[in-house]
Amino acid sequence: MQQISVTGMLKTMIPISRFNKGEANKIFEEVEKTGTKIVVKNNKPACVLLSPSKYETLMEMLSDYVLLEEADRRMENYDSSESLTQEQMMREFGIGQEELDEMDVELE
């Protein structure tokens, strides 16, 4: 994720009065081009407008981060002596390599 400069931050800020003047469509077009706008009310940030693609990207990043945190938490309790190799698992469940080769599996 790229960092934004102070000048860049100032360019993303828009007064709420622009909405009151009927400029919503123009503002939404600007958001589509730039990805983000910060709406200012009484000289304080009131909300952040994001393009749908920017929002989706941020939500995916958040989801990935949550999964990483969960994986790290689980790895704290990982004991390799309790793990089995693929060959051991296949023997334990009576699965042959031929059976695996014949399976059609789709991963997302």
32: nearest Cα among 10, 54, 47: 54
Q: Using alpha carbons only, what angle is made at residue 72 by residues 67 and 73, rounded to the nearest 5 degrees?
A: 95
Give pTM, 2 decimals: 0.59
Q: Are 90 and 96 in contact (CB under 8 A)?
A: yes
Q: Average pLDDT of 2-22?
A: 80
Q: Provide the pLDDT for residue 80.
A: 85
Residue appearing with tokens 């958040």? 62
Q: Average pLDDT of 29-36?
A: 89
Fold annotation for 6-51: YefM-like fold (3.40.1620)
Q: What is the mean pLDDT of the chain?
A: 88
The residue ranges of every structural domain in the chain are 6-51
Q: Average pLDDT of 20-46?
A: 91
